[in-house]
């Protein structure tokens, strides 16, 4: 009864003041990076409800075992989610149970009548929806616009800071993109890769206009060699760790291989179990540096 009363008082406070609490919750590295950077220099507090070891594709058990849910959610003003992208994003559902006044900003969908904010979509080779839309640069720009425009409506007193931060963040992503494309496409090499997996990285490769031939993650070495012969490509990429036998064979055959990061596992450089604010920027830079070295060296 006491807990219910606290929830009601929190909700009444939010609506009666016309103000939204300044605590913003996220639950994955991408949303944490975007929200942290867009709100930089304001009194808005961005908090991840999960630690730096939580896979964004496996959040259900994390939320199920989360301690102090009332303490975490009851005073939140906003939750930043991927509800329309990931079936495993339970952040808004959890927050709504403890806080009737919480506002959801879904980075995968804009409620504004603006087609320029509609994210591009892809279907995997197996016919399933490709969920990894944050790997596409144009989608990231749209996510930043969705986030910043909604935050300005919710917290108009921070409009100037949010607008400037959003533009600077988009410029940072653009610098990463330009550094790759200018280096790679000015080089005199044949550009193309063989991807071992289930089309997980298609958003990134297509965004970079990089030719790629997909084969199964567990493809036999005979299929790898056959694909190399048919395409003339001898550079292998995956977002999963290949078997030791496959890696050893690639090494013996002097076939180049790199493993890329989907961004589903947060970055924690200082080991404090809290994901880094610029973690997704770091992941993207690392991916493109690996691709650049693979293609032009």
pLDDT in tens, 69-111: 999 999 999 999 999 999 889 999 999 999 999 999 999 999 9
Residues 19 and 142 in one domain: yes
**pLDDT tens-digit map of 109-141:** 999 888 999 999 998 878 889 999 999 999 999
Looking at the structure of the chain, the number of domains it has is 2
User: Which whole number is the average pLDDT over 228-248?
Assistant: 96
User: Which whole number is the average pLDDT over 151-161?
Assistant: 98
Residue 221 predicted with pLDDT over 50? yes
Residue 294 predicted with pLDDT over 60? yes
| DSSP class per residue in the chain | -HHHHHHHHHHHHHHHHS---SEEEE-SHHHHHHHHHHTTTSS-EEEESS-TT--TT--HHHHHT-S-HHHHHTT-SEEEE-TTT-TT--HHHHHHHH-TT-EEEETT---SS-GGGPPP--B-TTSSBP--GGGSHHHHHHHHHHHHHHHHHH-GGGHHHHHHHHHHHHHHHHHHHHHHHHHHHTSSS---EEEESSSTTHHHHHHTT--EEEE-TT--HHHHHHHHHHH---EEEESSPPPHHHHHHHHHTT-EEEE---S-SPP-TTSSSS--TTHHHHHHHHHHHHHHHHHH-
Residues 119 and 143 in one domain: yes
Residue 9 predicted with pLDDT over 50? no
Residues 86 and 128 in one domain: yes
| Residue 246 maps to a domain | yes
Q: Could you tell me if 27 and 113 are in contact, meaning their C-beta atoms sit under 8 angstroms apart?
A: no
Residues 217 and 143 in one domain: no
| Residue 182 maps to a domain | no
Residue 154 predicted with pLDDT over 90? yes
Residues 199 and 239 in one domain: yes
d(CA 80, CA 103): 9
Residues 47 and 147 in one domain: yes
| Residue 183 maps to a domain | no
Average model confidence (pLDDT) across the chain = 92
Confidence (pLDDT) at 3? 47
Residues 43 and 92 in one domain: yes
d(CA 133, CA 142): 11
Q: Which of 133, 153, 176 is the last residue of a domain?
A: 176
Q: Could you tell me if 33 and 173 are in contact, meaning their C-beta atoms sit under 8 angstroms apart?
A: no
Q: Could you tell me if 29 and 56 are in contact, meaning their C-beta atoms sit under 8 angstroms apart?
A: yes
Q: Could you tell me if 160 and 173 are in contact, meaning their C-beta atoms sit under 8 angstroms apart?
A: no
CATH code for position 241? 3.40.50.1980
Which carries the bigger pLDDT value, residue 127 or residue 225? 225
Residue 271 predicted with pLDDT over 90? no
Sign of the dihedral defined by the CA atoms of residues 89, 92, 94, 95, in that order? positive
Max CA separation in the chain (angstroms): 71
Query: Taking CA 130 as the corner, what is the angle to CA 128 and CA 135, rounded to the nearest 5 degrees?
Result: 170
| Residue 98 maps to a domain | yes
Confidence (pLDDT) at 64? 86
| Residue 181 maps to a domain | no
Residues 172 and 205 in one domain: no
Confidence (pLDDT) at 5? 43
Instruction: Give the global pTM.
Output: 0.91
d(CA 22, CA 102): 11
Residue 16 predicted with pLDDT over 50? no
Q: Among 187-191, 232-236, 271-275, whose mean pLDDT is lowest?
A: 187-191
pLDDT band for position 18 (cuts 50, 70, 90): low
Closest C-alpha to 268, from 50, 38, 46, 44:
50
pLDDT band for position 49 (cuts 50, 70, 90): very high
Residue 240 predicted with pLDDT over 50? yes
Angle between helices 29-38 and 137-154 (to 10 degrees): 50
pLDDT band for position 288 (cuts 50, 70, 90): very high
| Residue 127 maps to a domain | yes
Closest C-alpha to 205, from 294, 84, 116:
294
Residues 151 and 236 in one domain: no
- Domain that residue 103 falls in: 2-176
Q: Could you tell me if 146 and 83 are in contact, meaning their C-beta atoms sit under 8 angstroms apart?
A: no
Sign of the dihedral defined by the CA atoms of residues 99, 103, 108, 111, in that order? positive
Residues 33 and 71 in one domain: yes
| Residue 279 maps to a domain | yes
Residues 13 and 123 in one domain: yes
Residues 216 and 286 in one domain: yes
| Residue 257 maps to a domain | yes
């Amino acid at each position: 009864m006491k807990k219910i009363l606290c929830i009601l008082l929190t909700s009444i406070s939010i609506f009666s003041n016309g103000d939204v609490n300044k605590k913003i919750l996220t639950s994955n590295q991408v949303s944490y990076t975007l929200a942290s950077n867009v709100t930089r220099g304001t009194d808005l507090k961005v908090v991840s409800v999960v630690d730096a070891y939580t896979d964004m594709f496996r959040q259900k058990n994390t939320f199920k075992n989360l301690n102090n849910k009332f303490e975490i959610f009851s005073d939140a003003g906003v939750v930043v989610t991927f509800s329309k992208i990931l079936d495993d994003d339970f952040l808004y559902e959890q927050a709504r149970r403890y806080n009737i006044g919480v506002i959801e900003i879904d980075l995968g969908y804009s409620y504004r009548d603006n087609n320029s904010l509609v994210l591009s979509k892809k279907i995997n080779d197996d016919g399933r929806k490709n969920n990894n839309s944050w790997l596409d640069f144009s989608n990231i720009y749209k996510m930043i616009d969705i986030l910043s425009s909604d935050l300005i409506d919710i917290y108009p007193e921070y409009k100037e800071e949010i607008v400037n931060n959003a533009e600077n963040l988009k410029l940072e992503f653009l610098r990463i993109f330009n550094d790759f494309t200018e280096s790679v496409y000015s080089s005199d090499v044949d550009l193309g890769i063989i991807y071992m997996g289930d089309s997980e990285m298609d958003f990134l490769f297509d965004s970079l206009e990089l030719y790629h031939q997909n084969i199964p993650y567990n493809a036999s070495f005979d299929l790898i060699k056959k694909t190399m012969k048919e395409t003339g490509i001898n550079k292998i990429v995956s977002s999963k760790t290949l078997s030791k036998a496959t890696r050893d064979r690639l090494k013996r055959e002097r076939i180049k291989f790199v493993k890329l990061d989907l961004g589903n596992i947060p970055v924690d450089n200082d080991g404090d179990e809290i994901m880094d604010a610029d973690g997704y920027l770091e992941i993207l830079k690392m991916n493109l540096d690996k691709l650049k070295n693979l293609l032009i060296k």
